[in-house]
Amino acid sequence: MKPHIEKLLATAALAVVVSLLAPGCGQKKSASANNAVSDAERKDMALASFVAPGEKDEYYLFYSGGHSGQIYVAGVPSLRHISTIPVFTPYPGTGYGFDEASKKMLGDYTWGDVHHPALSQTDSLYDGRWLFCNDNANNRVARIDLRDFKTKQILGPIPNASGTHASSFVTENTDYLFLATRFSTPLPRGRVADPKDYAKEFNGMITAVKVDPKDGEMSLAYQILMPPLDFDLCSTGKGPSSGFAFFTSYNTEMAGDLLEVNATQKDRDLAAIVNWKAAAEAAAANKGTVMNGVQVLDPSKVPGILYYVPVGKSPHGMDTDPTGQWIVAGGKLQPSTTVLNIDKIKAAIANKDFDGEFRGVPILNYNSVVEGEVPVGLGPLHTQYDGKGNAYTSLFVDSNITKWKLPPWTDAEKKDLTSVVLDKMPVNFSVGHLVVAGSDTKKPYGKWLVAMNKLSKGRHVSVGPSQPESSQLIDISGDKMKMVAEAYTEPEPHFAQIVAVKDLKPIEVYPKTENKDPNAVWDAKETGVTREGNKVTAKVIAVRSRFIPDRIDANVGDELIVHVTNIEQAGDMIHGFGVNDHNLNVVIDPGETKTFKVKLTKTGVFPFYCTNFCSALHQEMQGYLVVHPEGEPVAKAD
Ligand SMILES: [Cu+2]
């Protein structure tokens, strides 16, 4: 990494010098480190990204929040942060992780590492139902319901898998989503082996998770036992590549230590091509062995489910184009992307056009399946598509986005693939992922590209050493890319999805008729506090601007269970329930019932109050939890 950083610093310093030396001519000095922005350009940029007060964005941008464990929602083109969806980390802003249902989902974990959000698809188009995302740290995957933008399920920890980085990626009709491991361990997990014996004793895993088409409920389908390669990213097929999933990996060397050196020795690494339909059939026919309750297929014993293909050194992204014909791997340690042709892959499989094998699995002949290596620049990571035959690759080392033309190429172009490189746009700095609106569908919206840069060095007012990440909005509607806007986000976006606002239909209140919580109360007469042994149950209504009842009495040592129903049916009438000195805050949306439990360990009178501003008399919306000494008779609540 060090040489990268040094190069980056040098590039940044040079860019600053260049911008300082740029001619004045009445122009304001550049806000960008790369180029001066004239007043005319400044106006163009502002008009392109400006969303006036009262107007709305055209697209949602769902960012992964990396090790913050959350998903962030921003608008495009404004890049304004709109909302945070808590997924793997408690979030008092929405009371997530405080009520019983969300606490149960989180289990004992208080963080996750969200890398790749994936919108559900039907017929290779976003269907607006769910957003899935992975937790690389704790081997989990979550489902967010886009009807209410809430996390509804966390599946995992997935057995036999460590560091599910290459996830979540859905198949063309969301039958499955795939997770592949970045880390390998001795299996079954819990077994100890020496990392010196890494190649022999360690294994990775590809996991297929089944998604129920009715309600999105995820369950483990099957796994494929993999050699100890570090699987990085995945892309699923569509059209001609329907039924396949493609995974990049690094560490073909199978090094168990000092990966910086030992995992970068070979000129090419192996990408895995999974025929997931064949694998599903093999699993259904019990052709694997059961490990920790999951059917695990050994691809050396089940031919036809897995193939390898060599791609550019230390690849990162793996992206299928909107037609399903071209699959592009970004080899971050070589200056080109590798373009695979699915027709040639299928022919090579049919003709057994193999170049040896790796652990009993055929390696497809490189020259037979590769359409070309496009010289995009240094450090290609990810590729996205606009649906008009163009690809956009992020260059980590060069800190730019390269636009290039997808095949089919003319003979002249094939002879010199520099001719298919159409444009380059510098970004600031070290772009990792990028996203084009709708890129992974068969009909991208195009128009906008967001570059998710890894280092924001000096792009914003100083906020001390803990700096945000930088994201830049680029207009890709013309021949040349145009930089339009820049914004910042919490750590740390890895990937994102952009979907048109018109394609989602979120609700604004939970309809009363849909509230099936047996502890919901809608009438003041049904509220109250009851005791059963040491268990005290309160059924409470929250409504502008009071709690009914506004007094709860119990004794120290009791377990207090509170069910709060927000009986509002008006949008944005959200109430909170924060209990003084009890580390407790739930937030209840209109029409929702939430339950929290607390063991009462200290006597006293503890105010509770509405934490989410709700009306002019919000400040008056409060009550008391009276915790009496043990054995003292308890007053009856009003
Ligand atoms: Cu309130």
Tell the burial category of 123 from Cβ atoms under 10 Å away from its Cβ (0-12, 13-18, 19+): exposed
Ligand 1 centroid to Cα of residue 545, in Å, is 6
From ligand 1's centre to the CA of 608, what distance in Å?
11
For the cut 60, the answer to whether the pLDDT of residue 25 exceeds it is no
Question: pLDDT tens across 333-353, in order?
Answer: 889 999 999 999 999 999 999
Which residues have a beta carbon within 5 Å of ligand 1, which is an ion? 575, 610, 614, 621
Q: How far is CA 378 from the centre of its chain?
A: 25
Q: Residue 322: pLDDT above 90?
A: yes
pLDDT of 31 over the 80 cut = no
Q: How far is the CA of 586 from the centre of ligand 1 (A)?
A: 12
Asked if pLDDT for residue 30 goes beyond 60, the answer is no
Q: Which of 291, 304, 55, 286 is nearest to 160 (CA)?
A: 291
Residue 390's SS3 state is strand
Contact 112, 69 (CB under 8 A): yes
Give the residue-averaged pLDDT of 65-90: 97
Alpha carbon of 104 to ligand 1 centroid (Å): 26
Query: 612 alpha carbon to ligand 1 midpoint, in Å?
Result: 6
pLDDT in tens, 453-471: 988 888 899 999 999 999 9
Residue 421 has pLDDT above 70, yes or no: yes
pLDDT in tens, 203-222: 999 999 999 999 999 999 99
Contact 422, 377 (CB under 8 A): no
User: What pLDDT was estimated at residue 7?
Assistant: 44
Å from CA of 619 to ligand 1 middle: 8
**Cα(162)–Cα(155) distance, integer angstroms:** 14
pLDDT tens track for 265-289: 777 889 999 999 999 999 999 999 9
pLDDT at 118: 97
Distance 528 CA to ligand 1 centre (A): 19
Report residue 609's pLDDT band, with 50, 70 and 90 as the boundaries.
Answer: very high
Tell me what pLDDT residue 257 has. 81
Q: How many CA atoms lie within 13 A of 287 on its CB side?
A: 19
Q: Which residue has the higher pLDDT, 385 or 25?
A: 385
CA of 573 to the centre of ligand 1 (A): 7
User: pLDDT at position 456, please?
Assistant: 86
Buried b (16+ CB within 10 A) or exposed e, 275-289: bbebbbebbeeebbe
Task: Give the pLDDT confidence score for residue 493 in this predicted structure.
Answer: 87
Residue 24 above 50 pLDDT? no
pLDDT tens, residue by residue, 564-593: 999 999 999 999 999 999 999 999 999 999
CA–CA dist 533, 606 (Å, integer): 22
Phi, psi of 240 (to 5 degrees): -65, -20
What is the reported pLDDT for 523? Answer: 98
Ligand 1 center to 587 CA (angstroms)? 10
Q: Where are the alpha helices (DSSP H) in 223-365?
A: 259-262, 276-284, 342-350
Percentage above 70 pLDDT, the chain: 94
Q: What integer pLDDT is reported at residue 4 of this predicted model?
A: 44
Ligand 1 centroid – CA 574 distance (Å): 6
User: How far away, in angstroms, is 593 Cα from ligand 1 center?
Assistant: 14
Ligand 1 center to 617 CA (angstroms)? 8
Mean pLDDT over each residue of the chain, to the nearest integer: 92
pLDDT of residue 458: 85
Distance 609 CA to ligand 1 centre (A): 8
| Interval 477-517: pLDDT, tens | 999 999 999 999 888 889 999 999 999 999 999 999 999 99
CB atoms within 10 A of CB 209: 24
Residue 89 CA to ligand 1 center (angstroms) comes to: 24
Cα–ligand 1 centroid distance for 87 (angstroms): 24
Taking residue 58's Cβ as centre, other Cβ atoms within 10 Å add up to 18
pLDDT at 18 over 80: no
The CA 529 to ligand 1 mean position distance, Å, reads 21
Which residue blocks in 112-219 are alpha helix, DSSP H? 198-201
CA of 622 to the centre of ligand 1 (A): 9
Mean pLDDT of 88-115: 97
